[in-house]
Chain A
Amino acid sequence: MRKSNIAILLAASITVGMLAGCAGHAPESGSGSGSSGGETIKIAVAAPMTGDNSEYGIGFYNAALLKAEEWNQKGGVLGKQIEIVQYDDKNTSEEATTVAQKIVSEKDIVGVIGHFASGVCMTAAPIYQENKIIEISPSSSHPDYSSIGNFIFRNNTIISKEGAASIDIAINDLGKKNIGIISIMTDWGTNTSSIIKDLISKTDAKVVAHEEVMEGSDDYTPAITKLNEAGADVVICCGMYNLVAPVAKQYKQINPDIKIVGFSNSYSQQLIELGGDAVNGVCFPVIFFSESDNEDVKAYVKSFTEKYGNAPSALTSQAYDSVGILLTAIEEAGTTDSEAVREKIAAMDYKGVTGDTKFDEKGDVDKSFIKVTIKDGKFVKLD
């Protein structure tokens, strides 16, 4: 493994350098890039900017830039311009710890949007909590994440709520009773699959087989063969698009009729690019859907698409709202003092593109889900 680590490290350092170069040209940095004297209000986006999950991290960063730009055009917050600072955690806990310590040591960062994966969030969160830095994760769904401390929030539902929505799709919308589960062997994957199993046991459907696979291995045929032998007619994939796409492909080679249900984290253009025809018919619940009829959402999707050339994904939009929540709280508090801002966030009822956000005492949110499927290579609402 040492070899691969070195490879990843080298690669990452090269790529980070390149990305940092790009970030320097971003229009929003405007007045305050490089100055630490406090003329700008700095918000960190900590997420994977390189590697397999970079799509999500770059999405977070783009969304944050867009939101900051909107505020800056109105004069910024507290009379200062907003600056988004990018940190690459490569979606690993080791990197996230380093990143968190770096953020903490830079005294002028008022809040962190990130990290991406639940396990990574949970290694970084204690560092933020200890140093009273507000962290809003747009994506973490592990139940234990938000209870790490009162400075730790998330603009995503906890997995049991999302899991219930996924099961609802499998049982009621697709009308299947024999459920197979394939999950990645990470903290999130293992936890999600056990929650799903628990929820299914309360319905009249049953889990016929559960297979755990290593994240990032390309060959899922042994697991798929076992699920197929067990007679699964729908498979719930506890993983991201990089699991859903190959599973869909490899499963449809041996059973073209299989139905596949995922989670909101597979809502990404990469899913269609990687999966091709095989991901047609894959369903999942999302909090945000870019084809929605809501006027605010339409305007946001339009400006995002104009700027970046593609429609925003759900998690990207959750990052967009997370920045909005943080900025609104700073404005309401009239200061960047994290205690005061934290109290404002906790009491806030924020209306954004991902629905109404109101945090409970743990820092969790409750949102309604939209069911989405893929038809002819496009995301559409599930009827």
Chain B
Amino acid sequence: MLIQQVFNGLALGMGYALIAVGYSLVFGILRLVNFSHGAIYAFGAEMAMLTISLKFGVLPGILAAMILTGVLGIVIDKVALEPLRKKKSPQIASLITTIGISNIITNLLIVFIGSEKRNFQPIFSQTTVTIGNISISMTQIMMCIVSLLLMSVLMIIVFKTKIGLAMRACEQNPKAANMMGINVNFVISFTFFLAGISATIAGALVSGYYQIVYPNMGFMAGLKAFAAAVLGGIGSLPGALLGGLIVGVSESMAATFLGSTYRDSLAFIILIMVLIIRPHGLFGRKGITKV
């Protein structure tokens, strides 16, 4: 049972990791915790449900949802955050703006789609692999594979491409990067686009796993993913992955051994303990001023 629960937790954690990546990407560049990310995740999942129901197939549906959600990320940045940056508003203004945006997105979803839980068709085959007395569903395995794949693609983008170089430059010093001819606003928008894409993949995978989708799904998941990002060291992609897995597995363990009441709190208890010992998270670098 222990191993079985570890696998349940890993699948859950992969979902968190994919959401946490979005927090880390944006934080890495803007030093801003983008609290609208949970809502973007729910938006991505809802869009995936809608586009898949258009019968163009599962993959084109998810791709369309990814682009839509990526564009939403850019729109958020252009409409709400870029004006604030131009006016050199304090960080707290951007922070509260992202919280506001999160509510706006969720409420618009409720107005246009409805607040009830809806069925999300399974993306992967419903077969189960049985090893000994452990049964792992195909969906769980595919979730892990897709997450790892996406994580490596993101790593390649950030560390091996020109735009990645620009992203890292903006992270170190936006002013200097600007003087070197980097279009900082474009890089930031691109980052929001990437965050939106990873959120959609997370949304589609998690909704496909539980076969449930609803506008408020991003709230708790977003909060836990944020905990995962901080746990792993916010701004670090491998940190987001490890943090997500730790949160997922600990949640699964808490539900098993302590009862379901404790599952939501244990992730945060671990977070607090890690932060006391390592204030910058597991993979975090020193010298980062946190919001």
- Which A positions have Cβ atoms within 8 angstroms of B? 3-4, 6-8, 10-11, 14-15, 18, 50-52, 54-55, 185, 211-214, 217-219, 221-223, 225-226, 229, 242, 246, 249-250, 253-254, 270, 273-276
Q: Give the distance to chain A from B127, nearest Cβ to Cβ, in Å.
A: 9
Interface flag for B255 (CB, 8 Å) = yes
Residue among A10, A219, A275 with the highest chain B CB neighbour number at 10 A: A219
Query: Are B1 and A3 within 8 A (Cβ)?
Result: no
Query: Are B210 and A246 within 8 A (Cβ)?
Result: yes
Q: Give the distance to chain A from B257, nearest Cβ to Cβ, in Å.
A: 9
The CA of A4 and the CA of B214, in the complex, are separated in Å by 14
Query: Are A226 and B117 within 8 A (Cβ)?
Result: no
Query: Are A212 and B260 within 8 A (Cβ)?
Result: yes
Query: Are A213 and B260 within 8 A (Cβ)?
Result: yes
The CA of A99 and the CA of B133, in the complex, are separated in Å by 52
Return the 6 tightest CB-CB contacts between A and B, nearest first: A222-B255, A218-B210, A11-B110, A221-B8, A229-B1, A213-B260
Q: Give the distance to chain A from B196, nearest Cβ to Cβ, in Å.
A: 20
State whether A276 and B119 are in contact (beta carbons under 8 Å apart), knowing that A11-B110, A246-B211, A254-B137 are contacts in the complex.
yes
Query: Are A7 and B260 within 8 A (Cβ)?
Result: no
* Subset of 30 A-B contacts with CB under 8 Å: A3-B99, A3-B102, A6-B103, A7-B107, A7-B216, A10-B107, A11-B107, A11-B110, A11-B215, A15-B110, A50-B115, A51-B115, A52-B116, A52-B117, A185-B261, A211-B260, A214-B260, A214-B261, A214-B264, A217-B263, A218-B210, A221-B12, A221-B252, A225-B4, A226-B1, A226-B256, A229-B1, A253-B137, A274-B117, A275-B119
Query: Are A4 and B219 within 8 A (Cβ)?
Result: yes
Q: Give the distance to chain B from A92, nearest Cβ to Cβ, in Å.
A: 14
Q: Which of B1-46 contact A (CB under 8 A)?
A: 1, 4-5, 8, 12
Q: Give the distance to chain B from A276, nearest Cβ to Cβ, in Å.
A: 6
When distances are taken between beta carbons in the complex, the residues of chain B under 8 Å from A212 are: 259-261
When distances are taken between beta carbons in the complex, the residues of chain B under 8 Å from A254 are: 128, 135, 137
**A218 is contacted by which of B1, B110, B212 (Cβ under 8 Å)?**
B212
- Which B positions have Cβ atoms within 8 angstroms of A? 1, 4-5, 8, 12, 99, 102-103, 106-107, 110-111, 115-119, 126, 128, 135, 137, 139, 210-212, 214-217, 219-220, 252, 255-256, 259-261, 263-264
**A3 is contacted by which of B128, B215, B219, B260 (Cβ under 8 Å)?**
B219
Q: Give the distance to chain A from B217, nearest Cβ to Cβ, in Å.
A: 7
The CA of A114 and the CA of B63, in the complex, are separated in Å by 45
**B119 is contacted by which of A217, A225, A273 (Cβ under 8 Å)?**
A273
Query: Are A15 and B115 within 8 A (Cβ)?
Result: yes
Q: Give the distance to chain A from B264, nearest Cβ to Cβ, in Å.
A: 7
The CA of A219 and the CA of B116, in the complex, are separated in Å by 17
Q: Which residue of B lies closest to A13 (CB)?
A: B107
Query: Are A10 and B103 within 8 A (Cβ)?
Result: yes
The CA of A52 and the CA of B214, in the complex, are separated in Å by 9
Query: Are B116 and A55 within 8 A (Cβ)?
Result: yes
State whether A54 and B115 are in contact (beta carbons under 8 Å apart), knowing that A218-B212, A254-B135 are contacts in the complex.
yes
Query: Are A276 and B117 within 8 A (Cβ)?
Result: no
**B210 is contacted by which of A214, A250, A273, A276 (Cβ under 8 Å)?**
A250
When distances are taken between beta carbons in the complex, the residues of chain B under 8 Å from A211 are: 260
The CA of A18 and the CA of B115, in the complex, are separated in Å by 13
The CA of A222 and the CA of B266, in the complex, are separated in Å by 15
Q: Which residue of A lies closest to B139 (CB)?
A: A253
Q: Give the distance to chain B from A222, nearest Cβ to Cβ, in Å.
A: 4
Query: Are B219 and A7 within 8 A (Cβ)?
Result: yes
A3-B103, A250-B210 known, 6 other contacts, Cβ within 8 Å:
A3-B99, A7-B103, A11-B215, A217-B260, A217-B263, A226-B1
The CA of A4 and the CA of B119, in the complex, are separated in Å by 22
Q: Give the distance to chain B from A56, nearest Cβ to Cβ, in Å.
A: 11
Q: Give the distance to chain A from B168, nearest Cβ to Cβ, in Å.
A: 32
Query: Are B264 and A222 within 8 A (Cβ)?
Result: no
Q: Which residue of B lies closest to A222 (CB)?
A: B255
The CA of A253 and the CA of B116, in the complex, are separated in Å by 24
Query: Are A4 and B216 within 8 A (Cβ)?
Result: yes
When distances are taken between beta carbons in the complex, the residues of chain A under 8 Å from B128 are: 253-254
